[in-house]
Amino acid sequence: MSPFISEFVGTSMLILLGNGVVANVVLNKTKGNSSGWIVITFGWAMGVFVGVYTSAAASGAHLNPAVTIALAVKSSDWINVPLYITAQLLGAMFGSLLVWLSYRQHFDETSDANLQLAVFCTAPAIRSPFNNFISELIGTFVLIIGVLFLSSPESKLGSLDALPVALLVLAIGLSLGGTTGYAINPARDLGPRIMHFILPIKNKRDSDWGYCWIPVVAPVTGAILAVVVFGLIK
């Protein structure tokens, strides 16, 4: 696969399985309804595993603009950044479309518009822009530091083993995800949020655009900070 297709497919798989587990837990009349946070975090970790596994060979499995930007800062090579981020955003949109198609009847059975929105994008448990920003920054900092240490020196830059990255995301979700839902990925939040705005979902609310800048700007900030710190300790 070309790097563009690889990032598109990998991010689509990530969002299909990640947002899919959220749909299974929060939407009415599903088999997994109300099964809880542990199920969501494990589902997201497995989504990361599959996404990385399917795309690592061709593109390095970034699947996340924060990862792409961090690696560009580290290497000073920005040439493929627009290509990767475009593929990631489109892949996230397509993956969330597949989730909606899979759970369309359950969206119709769910009257709580906030739960419908939660299938697509993140929202804070306590709305406080400064604290929400810090939470996303810290979560992404941990992700990128982990990615930089897990990246094998003899492998192509950004090519990662799938299981360690999945376990890293699992740890972030279990330990740090309770504040904002751990977007830690601008494409993961923005792409599905756009699809929530576009799709004909019964009784849906607004797409909470006032919050959307936090899961975009904070992960990028945390990623750059992680590269700086990594450079100081390596």
pTM of the shown model: 0.95
Mean residue pLDDT across the chain? 95
pLDDT < 70 stretches in the chain: 152-160
Please report how the helices 186-198 and 113-120 are oriented relative to each other, as an axis angle in degrees rounded to 10: 130
Instruction: Judge contact between 167 and 157, C-beta under 8 A.
Output: no
CATH number of domain containing 91: 1.20.1080.10
| Alpha carbon separation from 217 to 54, 63, 77, 222 (Å, rounded) | 27, 17, 21, 9
Please report how the helices 3-26 and 113-120 are oriented relative to each other, as an axis angle in degrees rounded to 10: 150
State the total domains in the chain: 1
What is the structure's pLDDT at 153? 62
What is the structure's pLDDT at 231? 93
What is the structure's pLDDT at 152? 53
What is the structure's pLDDT at 160? 59
What is the structure's pLDDT at 154? 45
Instruction: Judge contact between 168 and 150, C-beta under 8 A.
Output: yes
The domain of 9 spans: 3-233
End-to-end CA distance of the chain: 33
| Alpha carbon separation from 226 to 66, 89, 95, 172 (Å, rounded) | 10, 22, 28, 15
What is the structure's pLDDT at 151? 78
What is the structure's pLDDT at 199? 98
